[in-house]
Structure 1
Amino acid sequence: MNATVVGPDSGAPFCPVCGLGESDGDEALPEDYFQLPTDWSHDGRFIAYTNTSFAVNVELKGDVWLIDIARGRRVVHLIRTPFHEANPAFSPDGRWLAFTSNESGRTEVYLQAFEAGESPRLVGERHLVSKRGAVSIRWARDGKELFYLAWDGRLYVVPIMLSLKPKIGEPAPLFSISLEARAAIHGVLGFDVSADGQRLLVPVVTSSEKSEIVVMQNWEAALQRNRGKIN
């Protein structure tokens, strides 16, 4: 693995994850997929990433995988379904995983208990967090709130009480993000939450310049005239 420039304290690694180690069992990593890392557990043991197909004319399909640093960077296929799961994000205590899935026909945020141990896995029920579609996820540092960007362009916060059966509150809209700024947000790395949960860091497009389209007519005649001047 190449050098990682952001570590588990910030949660978001910027590093390639292809070919880091052996996968569970005899399963090989697909060649027509690309890997997008989106979180690093706070104890430093796991890197979570999405393995997504980039094959032409193939429906978008992704699964959630882990790199188990403590076990020689072993690759673990954590979520394997017919649907597209992405954007995995560990809770600060490492006992829960938030992720997006389109199992309902629309991409939403889900929450599920995570067991590390010798064989890392998700257990128990999937709990729906969002209600209007979602594309990006970020935890508050105290684990009591989840933030996500919805399809309507607004950033939402959801109060959460983590327990054996987590209590998930109603999503509350915070503010809208411009279309240009939303284009800069990719997965969980697109925005961040301050340690006290009181400030949000989001991309802002400040340029007021407008792009112009120039149409040149009869350009061949102009080219001939310029050639004549050169000769």
Structure 2
Amino acid sequence: MQTFPASGGKWQISTSGGRQLWWRSDGKELYYLSADGKLMAVEVKPGGSFEAGAPRALFDLAPARALGGASSYAVTAAGDRFLFVTAREEAASLQFTVVTNWTAEAKK
């Protein structure tokens, strides 16, 4: 993480990488998805000197098969509730029929 605009300060937040970062609305905690599928939380001290605590796992999302993409989860302003987009349970295969030249058939 670094300040914007860049002023020289950079801080390591995760210990093994992460994606889909969310800030809590008061700026005192951030959340991210770890490489092994866990939702992680890190307390931060906003202000003149940035300080970050140790990452801690909140949920293991790997069994739920969290979807990737730009935003597969959201956090409430207070950071007390989370909404996740997950893959649907395995379902019977869906079948569909493609009808070509249907306009000619409709004229008959």
Scaled to the shorter chain, the TM-score interval is: 0.7 to 0.9
For residue 160 of structure 1, the aligned residue among 37, 44, 47 is 44
Q: Is 1:186 matched with 2:69? A: yes
Kindly provide the amino acid, as one letter, of the partner of residue 113 in structure 1.
Answer: T
Q: For CA contacts below 8 A with separation 6 or more, give which structure has more relative contact order.
A: 2
| TM-score, with length taken from structure 1 | 0.37
Q: CA deviation at 1:179?
A: 5.9
Aligned counterparts of 2:11 and 2:19: Cα–Cα separation in 1: 17
What is the aligned residue count?
93
Contact 2:36 2:62 in 1 (8 A): no
Gaps of 5+ in 2: 94-108
Equivalent residue runs for 1:84-163 within 5 Å: 110=1, 112-114=2-4, 121-163=5-47
Q: Is 1:204 matched with 2:86? A: yes
Gaps of 5+ in 1: 1-109, 115-120, 212-231
Contact 2:72 2:86 in 1 (8 A): no
The structure-2 alpha-carbon separation of the partners of 1:139 and 1:158, relative to structure 1 and needing over 3 Å to count, comes to same
Q: CA deviation at 1:134?
A: 0.5
- Residue by residue over 1:3-54, the C-alpha shift from the partner in whole angstroms, topping out at 9 and shown as x without a partner, is xxxxxxxxxxxxxxxxxxxxxxxxxxxxxxxxxxxxxxxxxxxxxxxxxxxx
Question: Relative to total residues, which structure has the larger strand share, 1 or 2?
Answer: 1
Aligned counterparts of 1:129 and 1:154: Cα–Cα separation in 2: 15
Aligned counterparts of 1:126 and 1:210: Cα–Cα separation in 2: 49
Aligned counterparts of 1:199 and 1:126: Cα–Cα separation in 2: 29
- Percent identity over the alignment is 29
Task: Give the aligned CA root-mean-square deviation in angstroms.
Answer: 1.9
Q: CA deviation at 1:163?
A: 2.2
